[in-house]
Amino acid sequence: MNNAADTIMIFLVLTNLTLLGLSRLGTCIRIVAVQGVVLGLLPLLLNGWSLELHLVFFSAAIISLKGIVFPWLLTRALRDLKTQREVEPLIGYGTSIALGMVILVICMWLGSRLPLPVAAMSTLIVPVAFFTIMSGLFLIISRKKAVTQVLGYLVMENGIYTFGVALVQKQPVLVELGILLDVFVAVFVMGITMFHINREFDHIDTDQLSRLKV
């Protein structure tokens, strides 16, 4: 288990666990940004640093989106807020990390149940990608703020992306671009909605969004 891909996978796990245990929103955004940059390097790494034009382009696009644009958007949204910059979890930080470990073990088991038909760079990819997706989902359901929910969505997206880049080798460029664009627009639309929520309610706690019931 010794190669750069493994290291990146473990890095992913660690950043996810950190996100589960962190209380500062700004730091969370920065961690997701770092995660994005590292993931942007993944396609280059998996192809042995061969500098094909389309790979480099793809990498650059991922890094600039996940590492720069999204964090910038979220930081801006955060800056305009007059609310506290704490995460405000529904489930405590310690409990979140402990649950994270349980999820990790389950994902490892799941990964062993689904053997890949093709050889992969690292046997950690499947479980770690699952774990990243699960952590993202967990963040979405266990945190109150709209910003944190968007962060959770991004983490989940990162997990899916890891899976895609690491295992699906022959993705046509068009699909890659489409996916990039979609994620970009999704975050953008969410950002605008967040802005409206902020203006309408003077806060971005989604637990206040509870008038619509039954």
Partner 1 sequence: MIILKLLNMVIALAAAPLLLGIINRTKAVFAGRTGQPLLQLYYDIWKLLRKGAVYSRSTSWIFRVGPVIGLSVALIAAALIPFGGLPAVISFKGDLILFAYLFGLSRFFTVLMAMDTGSSFEGMGASREVTFSTLSEPALLIGLAAIAKYTGYISLSQMFSSLNLSVWLNAGPAFVLVGFAILIVFLTENSRIPIDDPNTHLELTMIHEVMILDHSGPDLAMILYGAAIKMWLLGAILIGIVVPVHSGNALFDISAAMLFMILLAIVIGVIESSMARLKLLHVPQLLIGATTLSILALVLILR
Partner 2 sequence: MIYALLLIPAIAAVLSLIVRSNIFRRIILVTAAVSHTVITITAWNKEANPLLNGWLMLDKPGLLFLTITSVLFLACSLYAFGYLAGESGRKEQDFEEGIFFTNAPAAIFCACLLAFLTTMTLVTVSQHFGLMWVAMEATTLASAPLIYFHRHHRSLEATWKYLLICSVGIALALLGNFFMVIAASAPESNDKSMILSVLLQQGHLLNVPWLKAAFLLFLVGYGTKMGLAPMHTWLPDAHSESPSVVSALMSGALLNCAFLGILRSYQVCLAAGLGRFCQDLLVLFGLISIGWAAVFILGQPDYKRMLAYSSVEHMGILALGVGIGAGATFGAMLHAVNHSLTKAMLFLAAGNILAVYKTKTTKRVSGIMTIMPATGIIWIAGFFAITGIPPFGIFLSEFTIVKSMIEQGRIGIAVAFLAILALIFIGMAIAFLNMAQGRKDDSLQIADNPDTAISVLPPLALGALTLMLGLYIPPVVNNLLHDVAVIMGGY
Residues that bind partner 1 (CB under 8 A): 1-2, 6-7, 10, 13-14, 17-18, 21, 93-94, 97-98, 100-101, 104-105, 108, 123-124
Give residues with Cβ within 8 angstroms of 154, minimum separation 6. 32, 36, 66, 70, 136, 187
Query: Which residues inside 133-152 make contact with partner 2, applying CB under 8 A?
Result: 133, 137, 140, 146, 149
What are the φ and ψ backbone dihedral angles of 119, each rounded to 5 degrees?
-70, 135
CB of 136 to partner 1, least distance (A): 18
Per DSSP, the three-state class of 143 is strand
Smaller CB separation from partner 2, 51 or 213: 213
CB of 79 to partner 1, least distance (A): 25
Instruction: Give alpha helix (H) positions in 47-172.
Output: 53-62, 70-79, 93-113, 125-142, 146-167
Query: Which residues inside 97-126 make contact with partner 2, applying CB under 8 A?
Result: 113-114, 116-118
What are the φ and ψ backbone dihedral angles of 123, each rounded to 5 degrees?
-75, -10
| Whole-angstrom distance, CA of residue 97 vs CA of residue 135 | 10
Q: Token digits for 126?
A: 């499947």
Q: Which of 12, 32, 142, 157 binds partner 2 (CB under 8 A)?
A: 157
| Whole-angstrom distance, CA of residue 140 vs CA of residue 155 | 10
Report if residue 86 touches partner 2, rule: CB under 8 A: no
From the list partner 2, partner 1, none, which binds 212 (C-beta under 5 to 8 Å, kind-based)? partner 2
What are the φ and ψ backbone dihedral angles of 108, each rounded to 5 degrees?
-60, -45
CB of 10 to partner 1, least distance (A): 5
Contact positions toward partner 2, by CB under 8 A?
113-114, 116-118, 133, 137, 140, 146, 149, 153, 156-157, 160, 163-164, 167-168, 170-172, 174-175, 178-179, 181-182, 185-186, 189-190, 193, 196-197, 200-201, 206, 209-212, 214
